[in-house]
Amino acid sequence: MSKVATKSQTSFHNLGRNDEPLVSIIVLNFNGRDILCECLRSVLETNYPNYEVIVVDNGSTDESCALVEKEFPNVQLIKNPGNFGYSKGNNIGILRSKGEFMVLLNNDTVVTPGWLSELVREGKQNPWCFYQPKILLVGSDRINSAGNCVQLFGFAFPRGLGEVDVGQYDGKCEVSYASGACVLASRRLVEDVGLLDEGFFTFYEDVNWGWRGLMRGFRTVYVPSAVVYHRWGGSWGRLMSSRKFFLIERGRLATILKNYSSRTLIVMLPVLFLIELMVLFYSFMKGFMSEKIGVYSNLIKNWGELLRKRREIQSIRRRSDTFVTSFFSEELTHPYLGGFSVLLSKLLGSLSRIVRPLIK
């Protein structure tokens, strides 16, 4: 990862102790004036003693920047000239940051006072993991994510989504990847795994990051003692839209094509073809057929760049797909699937159990 010279306007929050590592909290914003204000107020009530806050604004037109400058003068503000998306926007913040650890935090989150202390405590014990808190839905006791899962054929979903939190996910554990809504990583880990892939405007950039981490041998840990609240779908809505469907499907296929080994792709090819037929049927039923065709068109148009990144990723991998997929699930549960979820999950589970023993 490239290193950028530090700048004097970076602001530190040190509550009288300097024996704890500096943490850079990077908050990406695009036209989120009101929710950003609530997020920053909660962040500034964090009881961790040593952190900096960096707001990266992606060309907002709603006076977000003016609000930050007026209400939060101790927060560093980076003004991008346009909407660079999640990956590039956060990468700009990462490159400007100074911390030994860094947190990517959505602007539609509200953190609890002890969230960061809990994450850093784990990070200090093992800096070679990604860490995710328990994420609850704002204004409720329902779960947004108790760690995120990847299904063997590339579908990603949050564990426990929509369930009432009664302690069923209060055990620390390893998961497939950390939600992009809130993830902590050490600088050393990010320098090894690399920055977020800017080929993902939004959606699947967090999946790809965690997957690449597994390929390097680095795991993702869910830390339930750290609690963050999230307005799930605050930017894109909770329901599936045509644009969201396009970005998610493009992200899923691009991630599979970049990250799985050639042997695994060959082994999976018949099943992946069947999966594509199923997704095409779903696209037709939901009115997203043109978006699905657009995904294929986009991948073909950008095939050269996709292959370049694939070669780069495969050349530096340390662990086999057997290791990587040991953190993946066989079945799939997600509210987007509606009434078909049980049947689809069982079908995917059966296909996964056929393919998994063949993966090396």
> What is the sign of the dihedral through the CA atoms of 339, 343, 345 and 347?
negative
pLDDT digits (tens, 9 = 90+) for 69-107: 999 999 999 999 999 999 999 999 999 999 999 999 999
CA distance 344 to 351: 11
- Residue 299, token pair as written in the block: 């991948």
pLDDT digits (tens, 9 = 90+) for 108-160: 999 999 999 999 999 999 999 999 999 999 999 999 999 999 999 999 999 99
301 contacts: CB under 8 Å, gap ≥ 6:
none
Question: Which is nearest to 226 in space by CA: 319, 109, 126, 70?
Answer: 109
SS3 350: helix
pLDDT digits (tens, 9 = 90+) for 152-185: 999 999 999 999 999 999 999 999 999 999 999 9
User: Cα–Cα–Cα angle for 353, 357, 360, nearest 5°?
Assistant: 135
Question: Which is nearest to 256 in space by CA: 292, 310, 317, 337?
Answer: 310
What are the start and end residues of each CATH 3.90.550.10 domain in the chain? Answer: 12-230
**Other Cβ atoms closer than 10 A to 82:** 10
Q: What's the fold here for domain 12-230? A: Spore Coat Polysaccharide Biosynthesis Protein SpsA; Chain A (3.90.550)
CA distance 132 to 146: 8
Q: Give the chain's length.
A: 360
Q: Does the pLDDT of residue 239 top 80, yes or no?
A: no
pLDDT digits (tens, 9 = 90+) for 217-236: 999 999 999 999 999 765 54
Is residue 231 within 8 A of residue 138, CB to CB? The reply is: yes
Q: How do 76-80 and 219-230 pair as beta strands?
A: unpaired
Question: Which is nearest to 202 in space by CA: 147, 137, 254, 152?
Answer: 254
Residue 81 CB-half CA count within 13 A:
0
Which uninterrupted H or E stretch holds 25? strand 23-29
271 contacts: CB under 8 Å, gap ≥ 6:
153, 351, 354, 355
Which uninterrupted H or E stretch holds 101? strand 101-106
Give 316's pLDDT tier (boundaries 50, 70, 90).
very high
Is residue 255 within 8 A of residue 211, CB to CB? The reply is: yes
Is residue 178 within 8 A of residue 211, CB to CB? The reply is: no
Of 33-47, 174-188, 191-205, 237-251, minimum mean pLDDT range: 237-251
Residue-level pLDDT at 235: 54
User: Cα–Cα–Cα angle for 85, 139, 162, nearest 5°?
Assistant: 75
Work out the percent of the chain whose per-residue pLDDT is above 90: 84
pLDDT digits (tens, 9 = 90+) for 341-351: 677 888 899 99
Question: Which is nearest to 235 in space by CA: 62, 75, 69?
Answer: 62
Residue-level pLDDT at 333: 77
Give 16's pLDDT tier (boundaries 50, 70, 90).
very low
CA distance 31 to 236: 12
101 contacts: CB under 8 Å, gap ≥ 6:
21, 22, 23, 24, 120, 123, 127, 184, 185, 186, 187
Is residue 301 within 8 A of residue 254, CB to CB? The reply is: no
Of 90-104, 112-126, 244-258, 326-340, minimum mean pLDDT range: 326-340
Of 20 and 240, the one with more pLDDT: 20
| Exposed e or buried b per residue across 11-40, where buried means at least 16 C-beta atoms within 10 angstroms of its C-beta | eebeeeeeebbbbbbbbbbbbbbebbbbbb
